[in-house]
Chains A and B, each alone.
Chain A
Amino acid sequence: MILVVSTCRFPLSEEEFVRPILELVERAGHRYRVRRYYEEVEFEEYPKVIVCGTALRDLDYLNYVESFRRLVEYDGDVLGICAGYQILAIVYGNSLSEVEKIGVRRVKVIKRNPLTIEGEFYAYFLHVYALKEVNERLEALALQDDEIAMFKVVGKDFYGVSFHPEVLNREIVERFLLL
């Protein structure tokens, strides 16, 4: 059972940011449970957690980061997508920068990792905040210009991607589910 966390303030946004992830999880042969960002969640009950993205103008989830701090004690795997990337970054003590990025951009992998190919790939971005640097608790895995497009939490299988892999890089979600 995979836990999929919605960061969407409006249910209509879930059609865009959560449903495509659920379809990937289902296609990979897993069952899932969906919880909203404002709900109490027992992460420990699930082997993997995916925290989805949301609409560009939707920043309400940033008011609920406290409830995600328990992830530090969590032993499973986490994939944070866009809003989920931002939540993970904050939980591990990093500061977001204002970076407006909308559309397809080229991403450069700078560290070998189990989720992406080596070299470069194209990805779809839709955000107004991202990391430009990481502290010692995160390691940068891929860059898009001066933005950290992908990171890993040191010592954990927690990954953050600032882009939307469900659009052009579904294999990232599929490989995460295989970890």
Chain B
Amino acid sequence: MMKPTTPLPLVELRQVEKIYRLGERSITALHAVNLRIYPGEFVAVWGPSGSGKSTLCNLIGMLDVPSAGTVHINGQDVTTLSDNRRSEIRNKSIGFVFQSFNLIPVLSAVENVMLPLQIAKASTAQAKRLAQERLAEVGLAEYASQRPAKLSGGQQQRVAIARALVSNPSLVIADEPTANLDSENAIKIIETMRELSNRNGTTFVFSTHDHRLLERVERQIQMCDGNIMEDRMSRQTESRRSAQFAL
């Protein structure tokens, strides 16, 4: 009889603490947080402003380093890695979607989507082909040559999603991706992300303070004052997780 094994979490935070120093004062943004996120999950981190959502996303996305504790991605402790190595992992394994879209204004939509591949030194032809495919997936194939200034907020965020997914990362971090969008566009963006997560098996972790979006996610992590107050999974996710553990 085979012994049941726990699947390897994609992201694991162990006793992670983050303290910001502002002159003489120090502010603790995260208090000894422990968290595991498994492949394919669609996770919302929610809570009021200053609860530590963005800090958590930044640490998971290797944009920042914890003051204490360790962050593991695919089982590897990434807190001790060099800046260059962290950059390489971000480029290949993590996609980002930002609140203000953060598209490069002098590049067209397709050129923006090509960026992660070009940073990875892929050929221009290959990068262009993949970028066009991703743009088509988010329904913006006909806007490929438009610069960001010519696109609406929702369209810009979809370009950003295409950019986040172009290098087939295992994880996408989205920090308040809908904060600058109206509710219709916000729901559309979340639906697009969820659809892509389901289709590609990509793990999505996004922060939000919009309660209406929470019903569309599989797992809700509620943050308050730098602590995880509640980690709730949908019934579907719970049963899937149980099945994974049983294998």
- B partners with A: no
B interface residue numbers (CB < 8 A to A): none
